[in-house]
C-alpha cells in the first residue's frame, strides 16, 4: 500500500539522500521534507519541502495537513559538535523530539515512526562488553551529557509507543557514520594530518558507511519493527589498523597529557576540536551486535566495517590527487 512519508532534517546531506531514496521507492506515494532551511539543489519528484523548526512546535499544523502514514525523525545529532553548546544539542535532540511526538499523537492515520538515534547511548567504557545488544541500555550508566540526552530521547519514544500501540516505533542506533561526503567529528579527524591516540590503547572501532545508514532508514520505513535496532557494518577494526588503512600517522599521547595536547593542536589548526564523547570512543572504542538488524529489520549493509574504512581511504586519496592536480 502506498504511503505518505514525512521526514525531519531533510536539508542535511544524509536527510536529503534518505528523502530522495524514499521518493524513488514505489511503495511511497509522497515525501514531505521538513527543516529550518531549504535543501541545496533541486528537490526530486514527489518531495515537498516545508520550513519549520521542531523546537518551536511549528510542525503540528503541517503534520495534520500532510497526514503521513510514516514519520522519519532524522533531525538528530549523532555526535555532539565542538563549539555547539550542550543546551542547543538538548533543545534539538530532546525538545525537538518532544514537540514532534506531540504532533504525531494527533495523527489517526500514523502507522509507523522511525527515529534515527545513535549508538552513542552505549557510551565507550573500558569494561564494556565486546558487542552491545539492544537491551544493554537497561543496565548501563549514562555517563556524558550527550548520552543522557540520547537516553531521554529514547524514553520519550518508548512512552509514545506505549500510549499509541497501533504505531510501530523503530529507533535505529547507528555506529559512527563515515563516508566521502560526510562532515562529522570522526571524518574531520580522519582528514587531519595526524590522529592523536592514547599511548598504550588500541581500541576496536565499528562504523557504518553513509550509503548503508541511508539504506537502513529506508528499510525501517518498508519493514518497521518495534524497539531499538543497532546499525553497523560487520566486524570491528582496531584504531591502529584503521589508521594504516587510511594512510594516516598516529600521534601517541600519554593519557594525563591527552586533553591539553589535543586542545593546543586544535588552537593552532593542526587538529579539529574533539569533544568528550569522541575522545572516549578513541580511547575505548565500541562494538554493537547487529543480529536484530539482519533478522528483524531484514537489512544487510553492503560494506563491512573494514570495507567502509577502505572506501573512505580511497575517497581521501582521490581528494588529495585532485588537490595536487
- Over residues 138-151, the pLDDT tens digits come to 656 788 889 999 99
Residue 295 lies in a domain: yes
Residue 250 lies in a domain: no
pLDDT class for 308, splitting at 50, 70, 90?
Answer: very high
Crossing angle for the helix pair 96-104 and 59-66, to the nearest 10 degrees: 40
Q: How many CA atoms lie within 13 A of 67 on its CB side?
A: 4
pLDDT class for 121, splitting at 50, 70, 90?
Answer: very high
Residue 315 lies in a domain: no
Residue 245 lies in a domain: no
Q: Locate 216 and state its grid cell.
A: 537502513
* Residue 136, domain extent: 3-177+207-234+286-302
Give the count of domains, the chain. Answer: 1
Quick one: 183 exposed, middle or buried, by C-beta within 10 A (0-12, 13-18, 19+)?
exposed
Q: Is pLDDT larger for residue 181 or for residue 157?
A: 157
pLDDT class for 87, splitting at 50, 70, 90?
Answer: confident
Instruction: Give this prediction's pTM.
Output: 0.94
Closest by CA to 189, choosing from 286, 277, 121, is: 277
Q: Locate 259 and state its grid cell.
A: 586533553
Residue 324 lies in a domain: no
Q: What is the mean pLDDT of residues 222-236?
A: 97
**What's the chain's average pLDDT?**
91
Task: Write the DSSP symbol of residue 91.
Answer: I
Alpha-helix residue ranges (DSSP H) falling in 164-254: 185-190, 210-222, 239-246
Alpha-carbon Rg for the chain, nearest whole angstrom, is: 20
pLDDT of residue 324: 64
1 has pLDDT over 60:
no
pLDDT of residue 138: 65
The enclosing domain of 112 has a CATH number of: 3.40.50.720
Query: pLDDT tens digits, residue range 259-283?
Result: 999 989 888 877 888 888 899 999 9
Amino acid at each position: 500500500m502506498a504511503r505518505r512519508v514525512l521526514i525531519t532534517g531533510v536539508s542535511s546531506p544524509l536527510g536529503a539522500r534518505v528523502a530522495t531514496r524514499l521518493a524513488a521507492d514505489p511503495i511511497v506515494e509522497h515525501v514531505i521534507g521538513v527543516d529550518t532551511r531549504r535543501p541545496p539543489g533541486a528537490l526530486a519528484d514527489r518531495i515537498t519541502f516545508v520550513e519549520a523548526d521542531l523546537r518551536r512546535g511549528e510542525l503540528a499544523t503541517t503534520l495534520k495537513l500532510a497526514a503521513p502514514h510514516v514519520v522519519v525523525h532524522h533531525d538528530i545529532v549523532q555526535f555532539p559538535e565542538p563549539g555547539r553548546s550542550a543546551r542547543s544539542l538538548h533543545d534539538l535532540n530532546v525538545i525537538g523530539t518532544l514537540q514532534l511526538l506531540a504532533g504525531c499523537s494527533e495523527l489517526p492515520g500514523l502507522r509507523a515512526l522511525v527515529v534515527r538515534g545513535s549508538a552513542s547511548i552505549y557510551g565507550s567504557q573500558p569494561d564494556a562488553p565486546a558487542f552491545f545488544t539492544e537491551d544493554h541500555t537497561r543496565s548501563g550508566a549514562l555517563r556524558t551529557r550527550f548520552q543522557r540526552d540520547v537516553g531521554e530521547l529514547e524514553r520519550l519514544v518508548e512512552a509514545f509507543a506505549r500510549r499509541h500501540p497501533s504505531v510501530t516505533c523503530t529507533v535505529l542506533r547507528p555506529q559512527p557514520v563515515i563516508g566521502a561526503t560526510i562532515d562529522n567529528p570522526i571524518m574531520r579527524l580522519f582528514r587531519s594530518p595526524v590522529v592523536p591516540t592514547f599511548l598504550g590503547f588500541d581500541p576496536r572501532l565499528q562504523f557504518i558507511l553513509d550509503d548503508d545508514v541511508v539504506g537502513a532508514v529506508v528499510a525501517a520505513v518498508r519493514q518497521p519493527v518495534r524497539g531499538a535496532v543497532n546499525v553497523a557494518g560487520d566486524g570491528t577494526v582496531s584504531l591502529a589498523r584503521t589508521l594504516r588503512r587510511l594512510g594516516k600517522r598516529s600521534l601517541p599521547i600519554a593519557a594525563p597529557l591527552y586533553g591539553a595536547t589535543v586542545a593546543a593542536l586544535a588552537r593552532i589548526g593542526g587538529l579539529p576540536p574533539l569533544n568528550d564523547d569522541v575522545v572516549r570512543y578513541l580511547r575505548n572504542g565500541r562494538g554493537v551486535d547487529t543480529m536484530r538488524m539482519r533478522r528483524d529489520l531484514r537489512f544487510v549493509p553492503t560494506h563491512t566495517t573494514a570495507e567502509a574504512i577502505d572506501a573512505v581511504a580511497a575517497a581521501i586519496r582521490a581528494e588529495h590527487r585532485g588537490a595536487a592536480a
